[in-house]
Amino acid sequence: MPLPVPDLDDRSFDQLAAEARALVPRYFPAWTDHNPSDPGITLLELFAFLIESSLYRIDRIPEQTLERFAALVGVERQADEAIEQTLARALESLRSFPRAVTAADLERWALETDPGGGVARATAVVTSDALDSAPRIEVVIVPSDGDPAAPVPTADLRQAVFAFLRPRCLVATRLRVVAPDYTPVSLTVTVALDPRAGAGRGEVELEVESRLRDFLSPLDGGKDETGWEFGRPVYRSELYQRIEGVDGVDHVRKLLLNDDESLGSIQLVSATSLVELRDLEVAATID
């Protein structure tokens, strides 16, 4: 007598709906109406019904259909091979050659394109519209070498990243690998020296300049020193913090952002833009 085939999943509609409702307070604490009349609860119950229907069919899929599922990931069933072995090879194929589902997946793999560290940073932007359901993905990469103020990837590096990412994208995805936009920024700084610190004028000027260049760097800047955040404005208040944190600086007498003393911040040109510090003048005076 053959052993009975176990159910892979025997959860009922009531169990699925109750599990979904129990997760609502954890992820959506503002959602407090859990009555059947609430539209959200109606959707939860609809999904529970669809899942229950799928679970009913999961143990009743014929081998021919399972073969086609395996073929979708490039695994063909061999002669006299048990379907379980075919499916196991298909699962292993998926594990060894994953697909990019989220923007974070593409960003992570862009960094892994060149084991030598050719790509220092990456960000991915996914867009689509009602007329075109195929996602459009733009991966912006920052190389680890080149001009430190505004590093631009070479055509060869962009092509290498594209060739690595393209087969890992979902079907019909349109992919581009591009260089970041750079927003030019100029700063003019005048600081008053603290005579008690004993630091020389030239020494203070060099340290202020170094602090500002490091803070705005596309590779090592930002608050966490991992590179200026894509699309993040440059705020006057943060520049003040960096300048007045230098030993020997008593206070900032003047700070011009793009030749404007009243400007509170510099907005970057796009969500994928970085800062290019083109001009920086620092002068120290004694009050």
pLDDT of res. 116? 65
Sorting pLDDT into bands at 50, 70 and 90, what band is 115? low
Mean pLDDT, residues 261-276: 94
Mean pLDDT, residues 94-120: 80
Spell out the CATH class of 103-178.
Answer: alpha beta
Alpha-carbon span 283 to 159, nearest angstrom: 44
Per domain, the residue ranges of the chain are: 13-96, 103-178, 182-285
pLDDT of res. 87? 87
- Average per-residue pLDDT for the chain: 87
Question: What single string gives the DSSP state of each residue in 1-59?
Answer: -PPPPPPS----HHHHHHHHHHHHHHH-TT----STTSHHHHHHHHHHHHHHHHHHHHT
28: phi > 0 → left, psi -120 to 50 → alpha, else beta; which?
A: beta
Kindly report the pTM of this predicted structure: 0.65
Name the percent of the chain lying above pLDDT 90. Answer: 51
Mean pLDDT, residues 7-12: 73
pLDDT of res. 286? 80
Residues 224-265 have pLDDT tens digits of 999 999 999 999 999 999 999 999 999 999 999 999 999 999
On the question of pLDDT at 211 being above 90, the answer is yes
Strand order in the sheet with 249-257: 249-257, 181-193, 273-285
pLDDT of res. 152? 94
Sorting pLDDT into bands at 50, 70 and 90, what band is 55? confident
On the question of pLDDT at 49 being above 70, the answer is yes
Residues 21-34 have pLDDT tens digits of 988 988 888 888 88
